[in-house]
């Protein structure tokens, strides 16, 4: 764009010509306007408004206006003049007028009536219009239809295109148009046929069924034509026709396979393969003879030819190749799976579109054997771009970059690198710096995280061989995802921990590590991406705290300073977990009671009380009761119980006693009396409603709906499904009554219904699985003696399912180096139990 | 069908805007800016297809573009068009321009923007491809240009000129 470069390269010297000079005295030509515009780069808009004024007042050129219109200036005021020019007798003027009209007129243009008549007159000669309006279309339809039979093919092909536009606005015209169109398919001129095919494709795109009768003609064209453009169109059209008429598939088999074998045009080849795959023509059981005379399966031929595309160095071919490969994968996964290496290479493509496609394909081809390799690749992409993003200005004293590059990305021993080394800031910070790297694209990161999770947990963890590794991956993702996937990750962490008994201990340790990471817990709030993960971590730590050595430090982790910033459900999760951890610890230390332990219990109790006070009480001297009563309902009930516990402990330990006080020993059994087992999402429906229990009536007084205490609606009435219930009970719950989920205990009254305040603890848990806990749930449901019903938040229940033994690893593939924790035996050790429970909870894909 | 054809330079200056759906002037400009921002930051090593996700280009539409020297040729098409086919079509269109202008450059497109419109209308009409044969295209275009020849300058048609009896 050199401003010195004024003169148009191919115009004869305009200033030299006397005619043009004479004209210039009165008006600026289009060329002048453009030159002037280019000369006035600095104040373009000023120049344009000046020119517009000139055009308006003195003399004007429609072309000039048209040019300015392209630059975004309105030219509607000149509509009448445009029609004037359109009516000129000179072809060139008329053409300029029509161009201007087709560019600027729309269906609201006021001079359309004039234009309509004019066009009708002109149609007798040559021209055509592209603006179509309902009125215009109706008026002119017959005129244009008449010229379809024009002697010149040029006019015929234009008329066909024009008529299509008109039928969009004037659908009644289709009746007359389609038969005519069919005739045009036999037109001697190839471009007319091509236009007709284009229009038919366009029409069939919206309503394929109506155009099935044209299939024989199109089929004939497919076999006879050599116009690649038209062939592409026809092939694409057949792709939309085959789903409606399955018999076409067999017909198309021949021509498509011969086209695929012979054509040299990549675009045509691609469309043929695409149609063969999408239209499911590959499943036609007819053999094809390939170029060297062998007979091969059509699907194999397609897969083979497709390789040329996605393995090409041309990005466009690679992109479309992957699109079709994804389709092929759906139908014939066996043909795709050996392309694993190629697809892995595509994952590193700089192009976002290609990467996303490759991601889609690769996640479909994950198997037990290659899972860890794929996940490692994806994780390294996430991690590397994060590292790059962190380079500027991050001086938090992590390991230097060389070290980062040389360290393995995922430490298979389970201690994830990122969480251990502390070199990564929170993803938010990382995401704020923008690198033009495709892996930094939030969309890609999200897709990558989802793909990892999908690959790992597909079909009840069918691909998983090492669950500890999976938990480590999830925890790493918390750090490196760089996008808000907290909800998803927390859900998956919970899912794997609950379903897979063997990973629980490891998971608890990882969760403890998460909770003790100040980079996550500092400044956390209900909205921050980590909040969901943290509250899940708290839940797991509380629920399974018996699996790891008890430590009173965990209480401090759970009652952390930013707790109050979380949402009330999350707060409740933390308080409950703290309570579980605390009582577990009390029980643990009661085992070796002595003076020292007594001192320790006393001091820990005081510390715990203090942390509660400082967390939930604003100032010294506030009445605890008053403050607690103002808390959200979920937190309130739990906190009251917690305070009761600390008070009881403080009373019991006020004096040194020879043996441990019973309260210390027994409190934890409140939470562990029944083991909490996963049940199928549908299990609740199979629970029979005890006689005399009306689930629709309120328990106690109706609670007014206030903003502070939002109660879920009362549970819907449950239908007793007799056969299902019988099945359920007889099949799975013979052996271990204790492990049975809610409702499998027929003698409801035998459940101890005491310690109401402590019972509240459990029912207020926000976690779905809580509702399965037999003891407490039963109480809240069956006893109407509750003075206040604890709300039972009912988030969508995570379908739970213990992985059956057939899904447990049988081959210790050792996906990563030195994996001491990976012991297949440790997972399959409990498979009897798991297998027994599976029928009750059919595997659910989610 | 083809929804629109845009030609613009690296700075986003329009050289041709042709939409086959009715869009008002302001929307056209917005479309231009949107596409320019999408396309101009892509390096030549990336693929030439983009899936529409923006406001004006729906998710069912695809953006197929080619980058020639200073200019971007962008076709916005719906799902019934073949991406590779459109890519070839752009090549045909540019070759047609080259035949008509002989060594076409950006300045040709600036100073003969009306001709560019006419050439495009030979290739694409009402959103549909009507001709892909280069010889046919240039024949039709040259016919149109011959009729225009008597004029001293490319298309100096003005309302005022008509009124005053010039030309």
Name the residue facing A34 among B111, B163, B164 (closest C-beta).
B111
CATH number at residue B114: 3.30.450.60
Q: Is there a domain that residue B126 lies in? A: yes
CA pair distance B10, B40, nearest whole angstrom? 6
Per-residue pLDDT of A426-452, as tens digits, reads 333 333 333 345 566 778 888 888 888
For residue A224, pLDDT beyond 70: yes
* pLDDT tens-digit series, residues A192-217: 787 788 888 877 777 777 777 777 88
- The stretch A506-518 carries a mean pLDDT of 86
Averaged pLDDT, A255-278: 79
Predicted confidence pLDDT, tens digits, chain B (167 residues) = 888 888 888 888 888 888 887 777 788 888 888 888 888 887 777 788 887 666 667 777 888 888 888 888 888 888 778 888 888 888 888 888 888 887 888 888 877 777 888 888 878 877 778 777 788 788 777 776 766 544 334 443 333 333 333 33
| Phi-psi map region of A382: left, alpha, beta (phi>0 left; psi -120 to 50 alpha) | alpha
DSSP tag of B31: H
Question: Which one, of A581, A577, A576, lies nearest residue A634 by Cα?
Answer: A576
3-state SS, A714-733, equals: CCCCCCCCHHHHHHHHHHHC
Containing domain of residue B12, as a range? 2-158
Q: What is the rounded CA–CA span in Å between residue A835 and residue A181?
A: 65
pLDDT tens-digit readout, A725-777: 334 333 443 344 344 333 333 344 444 443 334 334 344 333 334 333 333 33
Asked if residue B93 is part of any domain, the answer here is yes
Lowest mean pLDDT across A124-133, A175-184, A379-388, A530-539: A124-133
Instruction: Return the DSSP state at A369.
Output: T
For residue B5, give the H/E element and its range: strand B2-9
Which pairs from A441-445 meet CB under 8 Å and 24+ separation? A441/A352, A442/A482, A442/A483, A443/A352, A443/A356, A444/A352, A444/A355, A444/A356, A444/A359, A445/A382, A445/A481, A445/A482, A445/A483
Mean pLDDT in residue range A702-714:
55
Question: A73 vs B17: CB contact, 8 Å cut-off?
Answer: no
Q: Which pLDDT band holds residue A691 (cuts at 50, 70, 90)?
A: confident
Subunit contact A201:B17, Cβ cutoff 8 A: no
Q: Do residue A71 and residue B14 have CB atoms under 8 angstroms apart? A: yes
Interface predicted TM-score of the whole assembly (ipTM), two decimals: 0.78
Is residue B13 in some structural domain?
yes
Of A637, A671, A631, which Cα lies nearest the Cα of A541? A671
Interface check for B69 against chain A (CB to CB < 8 A): the answer is no
**Residues of chain A with pLDDT > 70: what percent?**
55
**Interface subset of B 31-50, CB within 8 angstroms of A:** 41, 43, 45-50
Closest chain A residue to the Cα of B18, Cα to Cα: A103
Give yes or no for B127 touching A (CB within 8 A): yes
- Asked whether residue B104 is assigned to any structural domain, the reply reads yes
pLDDT grade for A61, boundaries at 50, 70 and 90: low
Could A23 and B161 be called an inter-chain contact, meaning their C-beta atoms sit closer than 8 Å?
Answer: yes
- Could you tell me if B98 lies within 8 Å of chain A, comparing CB atoms? no
The reply to whether B11 falls in a domain is: yes
Stretch among A49-58, A84-93, A451-460, A598-607 having the lowest mean pLDDT: A49-58
Identify whether B164 is part of a domain.
no
Give the pair of three-digit tokens for residue A5: 């470069």
Which residues of chain B have a CB within 8 Å of the CB of A91? Answer: 147-148
Interface-testing mutation among A95, A324, A355, with chain B (most B C-beta atoms within 10 A) = A95
The pLDDT of residue A94: 67
Q: What is the pLDDT of residue A136?
A: 53
A160 touches A148 (CB < 8 A): yes
Q: Which tokens is A509 given?
A: 């340790």
Contact with chain A for residue B112, Cβ under 8 A:
yes
In the three-class reduction of DSSP (H, G, I as helix; E, B as strand; rest coil), residue B65 is classed as: strand
Looking at the 3D structure of chain B, how many domains does it have?
A: 1
Closest CA to A398 of A434, A374, A425: A425
What number of CA atoms fall less than 13 Å from residue A99's CA on the CB side?
30
Domain ranges of chain A: 28-131, 549-677
A52's torsion region: left (phi>0), alpha (psi -120 to 50) or beta?
alpha
B146 belongs to a structural domain: yes
Residue B165 falls within a domain, yes or no?
no
Provide the pLDDT for residue A678: 67
A575, two tokens: 């308080």
């Amino acid at each position: 764009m050199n401003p010195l470069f004024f003169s148009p390269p191919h115009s004869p010297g305009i200033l030299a010509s006397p005619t043009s000079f004479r004209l210039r005295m009165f008006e600026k030509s289009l060329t002048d306007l453009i030159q002037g515009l280019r000369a006035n780069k600095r104040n373009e808009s000023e120049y344009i408004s000046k020119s517009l004024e000139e055009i308006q007042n003195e003399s004007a050129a429609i072309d000039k206006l048209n040019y300015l219109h392209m630059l975004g200036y309105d030219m509607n005021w000149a509509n009448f003049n445009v029609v004037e020019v359109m009516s000129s007798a000179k072809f060139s003027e008329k053409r300029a007028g029509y161009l201007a009209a087709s560019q600027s007129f729309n269906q609201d243009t006021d001079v359309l009536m004039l234009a309509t008549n004019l066009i009708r007159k002109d149609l007798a000669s040559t021209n055509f219009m592209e603006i179509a309006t309902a009125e215009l279309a109706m008026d002119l339809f017959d005129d244009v239809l008449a010229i379809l039979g024009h002697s010149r093919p040029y006019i015929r092909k234009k008329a066909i295109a024009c008529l299509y536009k008109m039928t969009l606005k004037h659908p009644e015209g289709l009746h007359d148009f389609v038969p005519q169109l069919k005739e045009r398919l036999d037109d001697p001129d190839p471009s007319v046929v091509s236009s007709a095919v284009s229009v038919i494709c366009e029409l069939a795109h919206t309503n394929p069924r109506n155009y099935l009768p044209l299939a024989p003609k199109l089929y004939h064209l497919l076999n006879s034509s050599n116009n690649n453009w038209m062939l592409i169109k026809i092939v694409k059209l057949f792709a939309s026709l085959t789903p409606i008429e399955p018999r076409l598939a067999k017909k198309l088999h021949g021509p498509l396979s011969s086209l695929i074998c012979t054509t040299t045009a990549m675009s045509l080849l691609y469309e043929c393969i695409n149609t063969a795959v999408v239209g499911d023509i590959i499943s036609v059981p007819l053999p094809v003879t390939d170029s060297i005379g062998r007979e091969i399966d059509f699907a194999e031929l397609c897969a083979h030819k497709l390789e040329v595309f996605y393995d090409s160095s041309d990005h466009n071919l690679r992109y479309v190749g992957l699109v079709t490969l994804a389709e092929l994968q759906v139908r014939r996964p066996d043909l795709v799976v050996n392309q694993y290496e190629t697809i892995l290479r595509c994952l590193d493509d700089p192009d976002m579109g290609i990467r996303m496609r490759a991601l889609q394909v690769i996640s479909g081809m994950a198997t037990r054997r290659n899972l860890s390799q794929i996940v490692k690749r994806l994780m390294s992409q996430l991690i590397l771009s994060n590292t790059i993003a962190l380079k500027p200005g991050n001086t938090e004293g992590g390991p230097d970059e060389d070290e980062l590059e040389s360290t393995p990305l995922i430490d298979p021993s389970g201690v994830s690198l990122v969480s251990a080394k502390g070199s990564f800031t929170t993803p938010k910070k990382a995401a704020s710096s923008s690198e033009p790297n495709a892996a930094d694209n939030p969309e890609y990161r999200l897709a990558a995280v989802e793909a990892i999770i999908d690959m790992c947990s597909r079909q009840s963890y069918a691909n998983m061989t090492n669950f500890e590794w999976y938990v480590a991956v999830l925890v790493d993702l918390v750090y490196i995802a760089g996008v808000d996937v907290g909800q998803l990750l927390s859900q998956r962490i919970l899912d794997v921990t609950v379903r897979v008994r063997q990973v629980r201990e490891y998971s608890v340790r990882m969760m403890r590590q998460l909770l003790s990471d100040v980079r996550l817990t500092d400044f956390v709030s209900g909205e921050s991406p980590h909040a969901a993960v943290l509250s899940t971590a708290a839940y797991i730590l509380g629920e399974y705290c018996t699996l790891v050595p008890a430590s009173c430090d965990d209480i401090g982790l759970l009652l952390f300073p930013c707790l109050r910033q979380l949402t009330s459900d999350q707060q409740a999760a933390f308080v409950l977990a703290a309570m579980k951890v605390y009582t577990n610890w009390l029980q643990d230390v009661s085992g070796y009671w002595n003076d020292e332990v007594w001192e320790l219990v006393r001091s820990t109790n005081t510390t715990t009380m203090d942390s509660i006070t400082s967390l939930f009480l604003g100032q010294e001297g506030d009445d605890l009761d008053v403050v607690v009563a103002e808390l959200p309902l979920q937190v309130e009930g739990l906190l009251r119980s917690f305070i009761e516990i600390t008070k009881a402990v403080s009373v019991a330990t006020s004096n040194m006693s020879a043996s441990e006080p019973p309260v210390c020993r027994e409190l934890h059994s409140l939470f562990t009396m029944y083991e909490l087992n996963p049940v199928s999402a549908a299990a609740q429906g199979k629970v029979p409603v005890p006689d005399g229990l009306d689930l629709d009536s309120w328990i106690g007084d109706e609670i007014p709906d206030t903003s502070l205490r939002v109660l879920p609606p009362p549970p819907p009435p449950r239908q007793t499904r007799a056969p299902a219930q019988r099945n359920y009970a007889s099949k799975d719950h013979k052996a271990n009554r204790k492990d049975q989920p809610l409702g499998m205990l027929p003698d409801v009254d035998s459940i101890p219904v005491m310690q109401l305040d402590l019972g509240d603890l459990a029912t207020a848990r926000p976690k779905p699985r809580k509702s399965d806990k037999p003891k407490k749930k039963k109480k809240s449901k069956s006893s109407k003696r509750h003075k206040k019903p604890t709300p039972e938040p009912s988030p969508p229940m995570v379908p739970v399912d213990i992985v059956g033994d057939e899904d447990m690893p049988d081959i210790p593939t050792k996906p990563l180096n030195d994996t001491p924790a990976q012991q297949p035996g440790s997972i399959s050790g409990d498979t009897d139990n798991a297998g027994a429970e599976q029928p009750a909870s059919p595997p659910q894909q989610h | 069908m083809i929804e629109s054809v845009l030609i613009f330079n690296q700075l986003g200056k329009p050289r041709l805007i042709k939409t086959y759906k009715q869009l008002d002037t302001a929307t056209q400009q917005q479309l231009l800016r949107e596409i320019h921002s999408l396309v101009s930051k892509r390096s030549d090593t990336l693929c030439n297809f983009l899936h529409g996700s923006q406001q004006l280009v729906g998710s069912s539409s695809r953006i197929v573009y080619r980058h020639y020297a200073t200019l971007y040729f962008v076709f916005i098409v719906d799902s019934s068009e073949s991406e590779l086919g459109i890519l070839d079509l752009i090549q045909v269109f540019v070759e047609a321009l080259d035949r008509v202008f002989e060594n076409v450059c950006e300045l040709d497109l600036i100073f003969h923007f009306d001709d560019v419109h006419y050439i495009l209308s030979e290739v694409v009409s009402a959103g549909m491809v009507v001709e892909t044969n280069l010889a046919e295209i240039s024949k039709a275009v040259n016919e149109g240009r011959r009729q225009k020849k008597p004029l001293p300058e490319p298309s100096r048609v003005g309302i005022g000129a008509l009124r005053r009896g010039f030309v």
